[in-house]
A and B are shown apart, each in its own frame.
Chain A
Amino acid sequence: MGVREKIKTNIRRNLNRDYLRRLLGILARKPVLYAYGTTFSSCSDKYLNIFTIENIRDSYDARKPVVFGSLFLPYELFHALGTVPFLPEVMAGFTAGLGLADQTLKKASSSWYSQDLCTFHRSASGAVEMDLFPDPAFIVCTNLACDAAQKSFYHYALTYGIEKKYHLLDVPYDNDRDSVKYLAGQLERLAGSISRDTGQEIDRERFARTIELSNQFREYALKINDIRRRLTLYPQNFNGLNLILPFHGLAGTENAVRLYRSIYRELKDLLLEQEKKGQAKKPRKILWMHLKPYYRTEIFDLIKDGGCIVAAEEINNVYWPRLDPEKPFESLALKMLSHPLTGKASNRIKALGEMIDSHGIDGGILFTHWGCRQSNGSTRLIKDFFRSKKIPVLVLDGDCVDRTNSSEGQIKTRLQGFIEILR
Chain B
Amino acid sequence: MNRKNSVDDYFQPGGKEAGDQKRIGWFCTYVPEEIMLAGGFEPVRLMGEKRLRTSESYFPINFCPYLKSGWESLMGPRENLAAAVFTNSCDGMRRLYDMAEYYLQDTPLFMLDVPRNTYPDSVDFYSLQLKKMLGFIEGLKGSSIDEEDLLHAAEICDRKRSRLQELSGSFFREGGGIDIPDYYRLMELSATAGTEAFLEGIDDLMDNVAAAGNDNSGGPRVMIVGNFITEEKLWHMFSELDMKIAADDLCISSRYYENTVGAGRGCSRKEILDLLAKRYLHKPACMRMAHTGAKLEEIKAKVRDRGIQGVIFISLKFCDTMLYSFPLVRKEMAEMKVPVLYLEIEYNNFSEGQLKTRTQAFLEML
Contact = CB atoms under 8 A, between A and B. Distances in A.
Interface residues of B, number: 45
B27 to A, nearest CB: 15
Interface residues of A, number: 44
Contacts of A150: 116, 290
Given A170-B116, A172-B113, A373-B63, A378 B323 contact: no
A116 B62 contact: yes
Contact of B293 (A154, A170, A182, A378): A154
Interface stretch (B76-84, B98-106, B260-268): B98-106
A158 interface: yes
Contact of A378 (B98, B318, B325): B98
Contact of A376 (B60, B117, B122, B125): B60
B282 to A, nearest CB: 15
B63 A376 contact: yes
Interface string A84-126: 0000000000000000000000000001111011100100000
Interface in B63-118: 63-64, 88, 90-92, 94-95, 97-99, 101-102, 111, 113, 115-117
Contacts of A116: 62, 317-318, 323
B60 A379 contact: yes
A117 B98 contact: no
Interface stretch (B172-180, B244-252, B326-334): B326-334
A70 B94 CA distance: 20
A208 B59 CA distance: 44
B288 interface: yes
Nearest to B293: A163
Contacts of A163: 293
B99 A173 contact: no
Interface string B41-65: 0000000000000000111101110
Contacts of B323: 113-114, 116-117
B321 interface: yes
A113 B58 CA distance: 27
A170 B122 contact: yes
Given A151-B325, A374-B95, A117 B57 contact: no
Given A148-B320, A373-B92, A345 B113 contact: no
B121 interface: yes
Contacts of A379: 60
B117 A151 contact: no
Contacts of A343: 88, 94
The listed residue with most A CB atoms (<10 A of its CB), out of B94, B113, B321, is B94
B117 A147 contact: no
Nearest to B111: A173
B340 to A, nearest CB: 9
A143 interface: yes
Nearest to A373: B91
Given A344-B98, A377-B92, A151 B324 contact: yes
A151 B320 contact: yes
Interface in A360-377: 368, 370-371, 373-374, 376-377
B338 interface: no
Contacts of A380: 57-59, 99
A154 to B, nearest CB: 5
The listed residue with most A CB atoms (<10 A of its CB), out of B64, B288, B327, B330, is B327
Contact of B88 (A111, A173, A373): A173
Contacts of A155: 292, 324, 327-328
A368 B60 contact: yes
Contact of B328 (A114, A158, A381): A158
Contacts of B88: 173, 343
B206 interface: no
A373 B288 contact: no
B128 interface: yes
A173 B112 CA distance: 9
B288 A147 contact: yes
A346 B60 contact: no
B274 to A, nearest CB: 15
Contacts of A263: none
Given A155-B327, A158-B328, A373 B121 contact: no
The listed residue with most A CB atoms (<10 A of its CB), out of B60, B63, B111, B317, is B60
Contacts of B113: 172-174
Contacts of A143: 116
A113 B325 CA distance: 9
A377 B59 contact: yes
A406 interface: no
Contacts of B101: 344, 346
The listed residue with most A CB atoms (<10 A of its CB), out of B57, B292, B293, B326, is B292
B128 A178 contact: yes
Nearest to B88: A173
Given A373-B63, A373-B64, A380-B99, 19 more contacts: A111-B327, A112-B326, A112-B330, A113-B323, A113-B327, A146-B91, A154-B292, A168-B117, A170-B116, A170-B122, A172-B113, A173-B88, A178-B128, A345-B94, A346-B98, A371-B320, A373-B95, A380-B59, A381-B102
20 contacts: A111-B327, A112-B342, A113-B327, A117-B323, A121-B324, A147-B91, A147-B321, A147-B324, A148-B320, A151-B325, A154-B293, A155-B292, A168-B117, A186-B117, A344-B97, A344-B101, A345-B95, A346-B98, A371-B320, A373-B95
The 4 closest A-B pairs by CB, nearest first: A377-B95, A151-B324, A345-B98, A112-B327
